[in-house]
Every structure is written in structure tokens, then in C-alpha cells.
């Protein structure tokens, strides 16, 4: 009888509990597409489930009442919604996830040369995906980077629009640009090669601010930009992105991926054309150079036992670029009757990774080779150059124990460079040129020590032997602390960087015909020490999720090489600085995703970049402000989704404060640029699962810099001595913003 009573009691209790529970079902999507295998859970409980490959989920035995359901997936911001669960019924809730430029769960490799979840990396790494750059579509990587706070694509020539990338106020040669970790875009190719990286080959872009010479060697002084290409196995089978502007610019990106036996392959092609000779400012010169370029990228990934890595990729790039007086034709190339700057660029690249088949060991062999040919005419100055760079790297990663991860590596870089300038002239005159050959072997070691559950210490040291300058040591130390839930992360880093200089391969000003280049002494390698503190905080509020990322940085240079434009207006004088240089400042990035369909990404950078140098004739050190380094700059991207219309509105822009500009004595042009803002708006409409149409307006305020060229009527300085009391001479270096006004654009994207 007692047993029967207990059985009846438990049966009634079970029925009672069952009657007080319900279930939840729904879908997880992002920008109209299913998010497979997302994690779904109830806040404050251990209950949860996983979405299927279509983004659908169902789980039962959920207590009745108001429940807080949390959804998370790699690459997206966690999203939380409150759901009313009724006994014995199924509640339906659908989630729309948003990506973020600072994904907490994203994987990064640039900081430590090994894959690590971003929140666990002791080095602060910023991640930017193609979807972020599509908020303001551009034809190439160089233009895309205008959307990254603290990273400034700087145009160095008003006529041919060549440029480089500044990080935290440091000039382009201090930024290393890599493709899949290989130093592909550097030296000579930095001047023109950045335009040839199509969006269709990019999986994500990782940005490290601060010296990275311990892992990457020379040039990684101010920071690095690592372009991670798409994995062919995960790339769309076919993708197309085409757009045009009211100024006549046409861009086409095509991509296709396929499986071929035991390998997958990705083929990506970019075509860009612009042939309009616009002259809105009426100076007789093109506002924007005409350009015709083509880029083809092919990557293969091979399946191997035990999931060992084997990748091989190649890229070819060609460009024909012209800027100058409106009446110029190719017959005037190199002549002194009609001024033109004409550039033919041809380059190819090979890069690959192969994990050695050594049982129980992670030995990775990486290598790259590129050849860059350039045939340029800057007025009457002809510049023809060829550069070949070979790079090899072997790394060994080993987890010594639960606390220590060791990374050892050996590298070798070979650089061959030849041109028709004094840089490679034969001193004895017996041969036409004497190519510059540099050998740079190096070794490095890095230990990632997990001091406690929430603290990590990273120590690294690199030794390089430059065939010209000898031995160079580059140490670094990074420390990371985080709360157990990663809601707060603090990173502190200190490191040393160095750079070996070849002016003719990296500085456009040294190539133009407007000024004579003077190098009065043998140039020594530049050295720098950098310290930075980074703080991240993640807030979950009723309004949404807020991410705050703040950094303070300080860089101290010795042997810095800076161009002197002022001693003689007809010369550019390069010498090692007799003194020191400093770059210091503060950056703040915020990322706010509301529970409503609104997302805001904004950032500001405050910096002070200067050098203390001794005058040529001697005396006390004098402060000189760095050119093209605005004290204040900011970027923003505001997105709002009109769910009923299926339309996304993106409002993006940048704000730049005054910056010092290269002027001539008694110049009528301001020595500092004005405050200005470049703003853009875009509407994107999804047309089914695979197609979207977008269009909008660039440079909403129609901002144009004024008086950028001086003596545009006498570009060859033939009459500089006539009716010219101030001694002005033609100069192309005065620039701070694109000479391109308001324009509309329209495009479409298709992905299968």
C-alpha cells in the first residue's frame, strides 16, 4: 500500500511539472541568411540547444513564465530576447543577429602567428570583414581602409593619386601589409600595389597597431595590416559584385569556388576602369587619374591526412594609370611640352603554406615570391624599376604544458632591386646599373605563459642579420588580464621595431620630377620603442550590446628618416634625424548594437606626432610637426534596417582635423588643412536569398580641397624666373583629401 501511494505521488508530481512547462522554437538569421549551428540558451539556467544547418531550433521542458533567451554564434554579437512561455504550448521567437567589427569570438592570427580566439589574444588585434566595408563600397583595399579608425590612407600626389597607409600618424613605410601572413605588399609595391587587392578574395582584415618587428621583421614598426584570404572550401560557389558611379568609375568583382578531387580552389577576378578627365577646380589638370587595372587571384587548398595544412596561391596584377594636363596623350610621355604622370605596373605573387608531416609536431613551412615591374614617367623624369622579393619561414609551435605555449621560427628574406636612378648606379661606370641585393636571415622565439586563469604574459625576441647593416635585435613583452566572462580585458604591450630604408622603392616624392633628391649621408636603420595600453569593455543593457575599446600609445624613434622640403624648395633632402621623434595619442572605438534594428560603430583618434631635431648648422633641438598627421580624426558607420521593406540604410563617414602640409616659403596656400568631413549614404535591398541591390551617394557634402597645385600653368618650371617674386615652383606634394566631389553609385551583389 505504501509503495502504491509513493508511485501515485510521483506520477502526479510528474504530470504537474509537465503541465507547468512549455517549449520554444524559432530561427536564427543574419541579414536574411540562416546562421547554422548557433547556440541557444536560457539565461540563468543550464538549458540550451543548438540550431540546425538551416538556423532552426526547438527545445522543450521550458518553465512557464517570462524567459530570457540568449543566442550566440561565432562572428556575431550575442542577442537576447524575453519570451513568454505558456504551459503546454510552444512559443515562437526569431532572432536576427548582427556582425561586429570587433567580434569577441573571432579568430585572429596576426598577433602571435597562431590561431587564437580574439578575446584570448595577448596582443590587441582589430578584425574587419568585407561586410563592414560594404557599408561604403569601394573598388580596392586602399579606399576601404578609410573606414578604420586610426588608419589613414594618405594620397601623396595630386596628379597620379599614389598613396600609402598611415597607422597612428606614422607614414606609410612604417606599415607592413601582408597577405595570409606573407610580406607580399611592401617596399616598391606599397606605392601602387595596394590598389590591386580585390574585395572578392578577402575573408577578413586584421589590424595590429604598434611594432610587430619581433615576429615580422623590418617595416612592421608602426603596425601591420594582414589580409586573410578566403578558404576555398568555405567560399561561395559563385559570387559577383559590380557597381558604377556617376563619374564613370566601373568596378567588377567575380569569384568562384569548386572542389577538384582532393582539393578545393578559389578563383577571384577584379576589373576596374575609369577614363574621365574631370577638372572641377579648373587648374588644367585631371582631378582624378584615369585608371585601367586587372587582378586575378587563384588559391588552392589540399586535403591531407590528419587535417594538415597545404595551401598554394598566386596573383597577377596590371595597371595603367595617368594623371596630368587635360591635353596629354601617350605621345607626350616623358616630354616637356604637356605634363603627364603615366604609370604602367605589372606584378605577380606566389605564396603557400605546408605543414610538415612530422608526427606529434606542428611544423609549418611558409613561403612567398613576388616580382614587381614599374614603368613610370613623372613629367620628364623616367622611372623604370624591377623588384623581386623571396621570403621563407619555418615555425615550430609546441604546447610545453598547460601554462606555456612556445613558438620558434626561422626566416629568410631576399630582396633584389634595380632601377634607373642613382640608387643602383654603378660607381665605376663599367656597367649600366648595379642592382641592390639585400639578404636578411632571422630567428625568433616567443613564449605565451598563462600566469593565472585570467592573465597571460607573452615574451618574444627576434634576431636579424642584415647584409648591409649587420645585427639587429627586436624584443617585445605583452600582458593581458581579463575577467572570467571576458566582459573586461586589459592589454599592456611594449616592443621594439626597426626599419631598413630604401627611399627610391617606397617614397613617391623621391621619384617625381618636381624636386631633386639629395641624400648627404649613409642612412642608418631606424629604431623605435613603443608602449601601448588597451582596454576593452562589453556592456549588455536593455537597449542592446555596447563594446568600448580604448588605447593609449607612445612611440619613440631614433635614427628616424624624414624628408626635408623647406631648406631648398627644389630639393628633398633625406638624412637620419639628429634628435628624436615621437608619436603619441589615444584612440577610442565604440560598437553599439540595439535590440531594435539599429547599429552604430564610431571611433576617434587624438594624436600628437612630431620630431625634435637639431638644425643643420647646429644649435638647440627644435620641434617640427609631422606632415599629414591630423590631431583629430574620426570614423563612423550607422546602420538601420527597415524590416518591412527589406532595406538597410548605411550612413558612413570620416572627420579629419587640421594637419600640417608641405608648403613653400611665402606660400599663399594654408600650411594647415581645414576641418573637413567626407560623408556617404547607401540603401541596400535584398532580392531573395542570393541577390541584393545597393546604391547611394558618396561625398554627401561635396567637399573638395582648393588650390592644391601651385603654378599649374608652368609644370616644367620653364618660366619660374619670370614674374614670380616669391620664387614658387611647381609641386605636387600638397594634398590632404581626394579631389573628387559628390557622386552617385549603383551596384548589385550575387552570391550562390
Instruction: Give the residue numbers spanning the domain of 579.
Output: 107-751
Asked which of 64, 96, 128 is the last residue of a domain, the reply is 96
Residues 137-168: tens digit of each pLDDT: 998 888 888 999 999 888 878 888 887 888 88
The C-alpha atoms of residue 313 and residue 299 are separated, in whole angstroms, by 4
Residues 479-516: tens digit of each pLDDT: 999 887 778 899 999 988 877 766 655 555 555 555 66
Q: Which DSSP string corresponds to 523-542?
A: PPPEEEEEEEEEEEEEEE-S
CATH number of the domain at 298, please: 2.40.170.20
Strand partners, 166: 152
Do 512 and 394 fall within a single domain?
yes
- 15 lies in some domain: no
- 3 lies in some domain: no
Do 503 and 411 fall within a single domain?
yes
Do 566 and 447 fall within a single domain?
yes
- 8 lies in some domain: no
What pLDDT is stored for residue 201 in this prediction? 83
Strand partners, 299: 266, 313
- 12 lies in some domain: no
Do 38 and 157 fall within a single domain?
no
- Other Cβ atoms less than 10 A from the Cβ of 136: the count is 24
Contact (Cβ atoms closer than 8 angstroms) between residue 406 and residue 397: yes
Asked which of 96, 120, 139 is the last residue of a domain, the reply is 96
Do 172 and 39 fall within a single domain?
no
Do 289 and 241 fall within a single domain?
yes
Do 355 and 472 fall within a single domain?
yes
- 224 lies in some domain: yes
- 713 lies in some domain: yes
Do 87 and 116 fall within a single domain?
no
What are the Cα distances from residue 118, in Å, to 114, 115, 602? 11, 9, 20
Do 192 and 85 fall within a single domain?
no
The C-alpha atoms of residue 692 and residue 750 are separated, in whole angstroms, by 7
Task: Give how many domains the chain has, as a whole number.
Answer: 2
The distance in angstroms from the start CA to the end CA of the chain is 68
Do 53 and 164 fall within a single domain?
no
What pLDDT is stored for residue 9 in this prediction? 42
Do 40 and 153 fall within a single domain?
no
CATH number of the domain at 81, please: 2.60.40.10
Do 74 and 184 fall within a single domain?
no
Q: Which residues of the chain have pLDDT under 50?
A: 1-19, 101-104
Asked which of 96, 131, 159 is the last residue of a domain, the reply is 96
- 14 lies in some domain: no
For the entire predicted model, the pTM comes to 0.82
- 1 lies in some domain: no
Amino acid at each position: 500500500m505504501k509503495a502504491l501511494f509513493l508511485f501515485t505521488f510521483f506520477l502526479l508530481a510528474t504530470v504537474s511539472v509537465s503541465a507547468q512547462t512549455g517549449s520554444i522554437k524559432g530561427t536564427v538569421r543574419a541579414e536574411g541568411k540562416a546562421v547554422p549551428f548557433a547556440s541557444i540558451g536560457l539565461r540563468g539556467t543550464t538549458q540550451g540547444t543548438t540550431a540546425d544547418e538551416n538556423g532552426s531550433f526547438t527545445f522543450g521542458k521550458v518553465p512557464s513564465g517570462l524567459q530570457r533567451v540568449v543566442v550566440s554564434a561565432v562572428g556575431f554579437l550575442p542577442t537576447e530576447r524575453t519570451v513568454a512561455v505558456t504551459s503546454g504550448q510552444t512559443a515562437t521567437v526569431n532572432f536576427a543577429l548582427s556582425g561586429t567589427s570587433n567580434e569577441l569570438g573571432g579568430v585572429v592570427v596576426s598577433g602571435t602567428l597562431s590561431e587564437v580566439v580574439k578575446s584570448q589574444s595577448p596582443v590587441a588585434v582589430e578584425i574587419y570583414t568585407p561586410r563592414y566595408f560594404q557599408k561604403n563600397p569601394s573598388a580596392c583595399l586602399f579606399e576601404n581602409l578609410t573606414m578604420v579608425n586610426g588608419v589613414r590612407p594618405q594620397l601623396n600626389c595630386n596628379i597620379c593619386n599614389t598613396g600609402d597607409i598611415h597607422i597612428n600618424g606614422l607614414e606609410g613605410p612604417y606599415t607592413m601589409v601582408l597577405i595570409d601572413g606573407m610580406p607580399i605588399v611592401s617596399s616598391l609595391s606599397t606605392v601602387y600595389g595596394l590598389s590591386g587587392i580585390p574585395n572578392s578574395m578577402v575573408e577578413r582584415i586584421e589590424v595590429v597597431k604598434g611594432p610587430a618587428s619581433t615576429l615580422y621583421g623590418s617595416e612592421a614598426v608602426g603596425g601591420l595590416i594582414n589580409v586573410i584570404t578566403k578558404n576555398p572550401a568555405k567560399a561561395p560557389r559563385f559570387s559577383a559584385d559590380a557597381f558604377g558611379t556617376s563619374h564613370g568609375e566601373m568596378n567588377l568583382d567575380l569569384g568562384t569556388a569548386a572542389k577538384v578531387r582532393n582539393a578545393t580552389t578559389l578563383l577571384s577576378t577584379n576589373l576596374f576602369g575609369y577614363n574621365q578627365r574631370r577638372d572641377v577646380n579648373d587648374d588644367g589638370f585631371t582631378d582624378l587619374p584615369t585608371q585601367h587595372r586587372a587582378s586575378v587571384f587563384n588559391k588552392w587548398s589540399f586535403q591531407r591526412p590528419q587535417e594538415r595544412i597545404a595551401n598554394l596561391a598566386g596573383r597577377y596584377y596590371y595597371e595603367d594609370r595617368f594623371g596630368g594636363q587635360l591635353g596629354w596623350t601617350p605621345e607626350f610621355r616623358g616630354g616637356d611640352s604637356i605634363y603627364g604622370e603615366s604609370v604602367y605596373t605589372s606584378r605577380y605573387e606566389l605564396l603557400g603554406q605546408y605543414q610538415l608531416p612530422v608526427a606529434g609536431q606542428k611544423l609549418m613551412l611558409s613561403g612567398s615570391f613576388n616580382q614587381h615591374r614599374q614603368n613610370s614617367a613623372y613629367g620628364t623624369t623616367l622611372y623604370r624599376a624591377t623588384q623581386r622579393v623571396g621570403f621563407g619561414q619555418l615555425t615550430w609551435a609546441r604546447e610545453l604544458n598547460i601554462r606555456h605555449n612556445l613558438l620558434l621560427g626561422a626566416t629568410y628574406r631576399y630582396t633584389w632591386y634595380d632601377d634607373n636612378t642613382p640608387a643602383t648606379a654603378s660607381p665605376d661606370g663599367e656597367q649600366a646599373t648595379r642592382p641592390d641585393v639585400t639578404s636578411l636571415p632571422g630567428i625568433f622565439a616567443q613564449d605565451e605563459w598563462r600566469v593565472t586563469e585570467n592573465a597571460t604574459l607573452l615574451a618574444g625576441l627576434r634576431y636579424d642579420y642584415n647584409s648591409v647593416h649587420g645585427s639587429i635585435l627586436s624584443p617585445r613583452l605583452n600582458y593581458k588580464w581579463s575577467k572570467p566572462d571576458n566582459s573586461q580585458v586589459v592589454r599592456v604591450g611594449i616592443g621594439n621595431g626597426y626599419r631598413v630604408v630604401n627611399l627610391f622603392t617606397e617614397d613617391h616624392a623621391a621619384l617625381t620630377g618636381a624636386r631633386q633628391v639629395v641624400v648627404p649621408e649613409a642612412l642608418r636603420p631606424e629604431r623605435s620603442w613603443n608602449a601601448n595600453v588597451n582596454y576593452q569593455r562589453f556592456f549588455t543593457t536593455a537597449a542592446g550590446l555596447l563594446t568600448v575599446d580604448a588605447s593609449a600609445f607612445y612611440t619613440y624613434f631614433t635614427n628616424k628618416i624624414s624628408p626635408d622640403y623647406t631648406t631648398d624648395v627644389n630639393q628633398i633632402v633625406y638624412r637620419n634625424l639628429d634628435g628624436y621623434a615621437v608619436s603619441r595619442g589615444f584612440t577610442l572605438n565604440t560598437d553599439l548594437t540595439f535590440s531594435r534594428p539599429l547599429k552604430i560603430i564610431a571611433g576617434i583618434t587624438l594624436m600628437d606626432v612630431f620630431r625634435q631635431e637639431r638644425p643643420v648648422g647646429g644649435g638647440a633641438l627644435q620641434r617640427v610637426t609631422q606632415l599629414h598627421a591630423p590631431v583629430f580624426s574620426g570614423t563612423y558607420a550607422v546602420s538601420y534596417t527597415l524590416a518591412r521593406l527589406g532595406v538597410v540604410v548605411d550612413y558612413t563617414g570620416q572627420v579629419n582635423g587640421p594637419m600640417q602640409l608641405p608648403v613653400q616659403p611665402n606660400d599663399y596656400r594654408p600650411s594647415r588643412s581645414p576641418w573637413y568631413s567626407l560623408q556617404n549614404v547607401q540603401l541596400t535591398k535584398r532580392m531573395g536569398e542570393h541577390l541584393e541591390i545597393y546604391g547611394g551617394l558618396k561625398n554627401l557634402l561635396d567637399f573638395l580641397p582648393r588650390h592644391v597645385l601651385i603654378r599649374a600653368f608652368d609644370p616644367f618650371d620653364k618660366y619660374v624666373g619670370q614674374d614670380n617674386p616669391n620664387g614658387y615652383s611647381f609641386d605636387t606634394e600638397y594634398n590632404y583629401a581626394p579631389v573628387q566631389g559628390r557622386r552617385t553609385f549603383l551596384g548589385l551583389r550575387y552570391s550562390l
